[in-house]
Each structure stands twice: as structure tokens, then as C-alpha cells.
Structure 1
Amino acid sequence: MASEYSLSVVLEKMYENQLGLEAALMELVLLVEQQGCETVGENARGALERIGNNAGFINQGLARLRILEKD
């Protein structure tokens, strides 16, 4: 079991924060697009795409780190 402040636990908390920020940014994108600011919405969606792509990579890295910590 990982300790309270092990690397995997700290990275998991950072990953959870990333997901929360992604959700909040999406809410803002929808609001901005409804107000007719398509360019701003497109730019923010580009950032959301990057966040989404990185989320899978981070999740895989966390899974591997947890396995290493069990040994």
C-alpha cells in the first residue's frame, strides 16, 4: 500500500485536479461559444484536446507506478 505522500498518491491527486480543470474549462468553452466567440472556443478546445490526450498517458504511468510500489 502506498504511503499518504508517495509519488503515486501525489501524482494521482494532480491527475484528479487536471480532470477537474478540464471539466471547468469545458463549461467555460460552452458558455463562450454560446455568446458567439467561436475563435476563443476553438482555441480552448485545442487545449482541451491536449489535456485529453495527456490524460491517458498519465493514467497509464500511474498504473505502472502503482505496480512498482507494490513490489
Structure 2
Amino acid sequence: MPYDSDSNIATADALTLILQNQHALGAAIEEVTKWFSENGVENVAANAVTAMETLDANAKALTAAIMRLRRL
């Protein structure tokens, strides 16, 4: 695939927006998890923690891809 700076910038910008969405979703899930935990719904809270872990892992991969695109 030939090097295309404009495409890399557009892709990195789009991935940055997706990453920002992931952070927002993570914050929302964290708030809901806290409520579940405080209201005795521990099994749901545990599932929410698993979802946050997935968001965190994927955020790391997105960040790496963004950085790679921005270096090209």
C-alpha cells in the first residue's frame, strides 16, 4: 500500500474520535458499576468491570495504531 499522508491523518483522526468515545463509555460504565456495587447487584457490577477491562485493552491498541499512523 503506498504511503498517503492525507489518508493516514484522516484515519488517525477517526481513530482518535473512536478512542474518545471509548473513554466516555468507560466513564459511564464506571458510574453504573459503582451504583450496582452500592445497591447489592454485585454480579452485574462484576460484568461491568469486565466490560471496562475490554474497553481499556482496546483503547491501548487504538492508541498504538493512532501513534503509528501519526509517525508515518
- Post-superposition, which runs of at least 4 consecutive aligned residues in structure 1 deviate over 6 A? none
- Cα distance in 2 for partners of 1:39, 1:51 equals 19
Number of aligned pairs? 67
**Please, what TM-score do these two structures have when normalized by structure 1?**
0.84
Q: Shift of the alpha carbon at 1:22?
A: 0.4
What are the ranges of 5 or more consecutive residues in structure 2 without an aligned counterpart?
Answer: none
Report sequence identity in percent: 31
Find the partner of 1:43 among 24, 40, 47. 47
Structure 1 portions without partners, runs of 5+: none
TM-score, normalised by the number of residues in structure 2: 0.83
1:3-31 CA-to-partner distances (Å, cap 9, x unmatched) read 8x811111101110110110111001000
- Distance in 1 separating the partners of 2:18 and 2:71: 19
